[in-house]
Amino acid sequence: MRPEGIFQRLSAMGAAAQASVPGAYAWAVTVAPAAWARGSPVVAKVAAVAALLALGGGIVGERAAGGKVRPFAMWGFVLCCALAWSAAPAALAPLRIDAPRGVAGMVGWALFAFAFAAPSLQGRREEERILDAPELSPRKTVARGDAAYLVLGSALATALQIIGWRVATAERALLIRFSALAAGIAIVGAAADLALVRHAPRARRSRTRRLRTGMVMLVVLGLLGLTGILFALRG
């Protein structure tokens, strides 16, 4: 009998257990520093501890009673974290959160949401196959370079998240975060488009045709550049 791999063991633990890892990470990065900051009230500390207990209760509850416990564990964790933040709002002021911690917290909460929403990880499936025939081979393989486009797009989108963490006003800090998020999504989408259009059938002399297609936007870009230069000279 083959020894169980890490995926089989994680799959057997359930989705709540898997989500508890990024959940604990997000808690450690964003909730614990706020709850145990100087001057934080006891309510914040109690709520932070209750959030951890909800996370642990999700693991135990899922093993005992199945998946129906997961929403209670998730909402218990999220609401306790929200209570901890509400009780210590000064610890969340934009000037007290540095960029690396902010980005780490965003990644932690995104991973937690993804892990809690998704079913538990599955391991190798050869043993579960119904047909004895060999696996079907794919008609197309993913072309080389597509991953590079997506990595470039993701890196550029991540670079946008570094800006604007030292803004004093909360409203403006939120505006910057929202606009950076929207711009990041647009950049990743454009990078995916650039990767996909490489596989479309190309006509001869397509370079001229493509340049002509994009000419309107290039002209608009040129006009914008000219406007910027004129404004800079006036200023």
Partner 1 sequence: MHLVDALAIMLLVAATTAFVLGERALARAEDLSAMYWLVVGIVSLQAAVQVARPGKAA
Please give the C-alpha separations between residue 202 and each of 45, 77, 112, 143, 193, in angstroms, as whole numbers.
62, 52, 42, 16, 15
| Residue closer to partner 1, measured from CB, 106 or 190 | 190
Q: How far is the CB of 195 from partner 1 (least distance, A)?
A: 9
Q: Interface with partner 1 includes 9 (CB under 8 A)?
A: no
How many residues of this chain interact with partner 1, rule: CB under 8 A?
46
- Indicate the burial class of 15 (C-beta count within 10 angstroms; 0-12, 13-18, 19 or more): buried
Q: How far is the CB of 163 from partner 1 (least distance, A)?
A: 4
Interface map 184-203 toward partner 1 (x if CB under 8 A): --xx--xx-xx--xx-xxxx
Q: How far is the CB of 222 from partner 1 (least distance, A)?
A: 10
Q: Interface with partner 1 includes 142 (CB under 8 A)?
A: no
Other C-beta atoms within 10 Å of 233: how many? Answer: 7
3-state secondary structure (DSSP) of residue 54: helix
Q: Interface with partner 1 includes 95 (CB under 8 A)?
A: no
- Whether 84 and 48 have beta carbons less than 8 Å apart is answered as yes
| Residue closer to partner 1, measured from CB, 118 or 218 | 218
CB burial of 94-125 (b: ≥16 within 10 Å; e: otherwise) equals beebeeeebebbbbbbebbbebbeeebeebee
| Residue closer to partner 1, measured from CB, 113 or 180 | 180
Give residues with Cβ within 8 angstroms of 168, minimum separation 6. Answer: 94, 95
Q: Interface with partner 1 includes 211 (CB under 8 A)?
A: yes
Q: How far is the CB of 210 from partner 1 (least distance, A)?
A: 5
Q: Show the tokens assigned to 106.
A: 């965003």
Q: How far is the CB of 29 from partner 1 (least distance, A)?
A: 22
Q: Interface with partner 1 includes 106 (CB under 8 A)?
A: no
Among residues 87, 75, 79, which one has the least CA distance to residue 45? 87
Using CA of residue 137, residue 139, residue 145, residue 149, what is the dihedral sign?
A: negative
| Site of interaction with partner 1 (CB under 8 A) | 152-153, 156-157, 159-160, 163-164, 166-167, 172, 175-176, 179-180, 183, 186-187, 190-191, 193-194, 197-198, 200-204, 206-207, 209-211, 213-214, 216-218, 220-221, 224-225, 227-228, 231
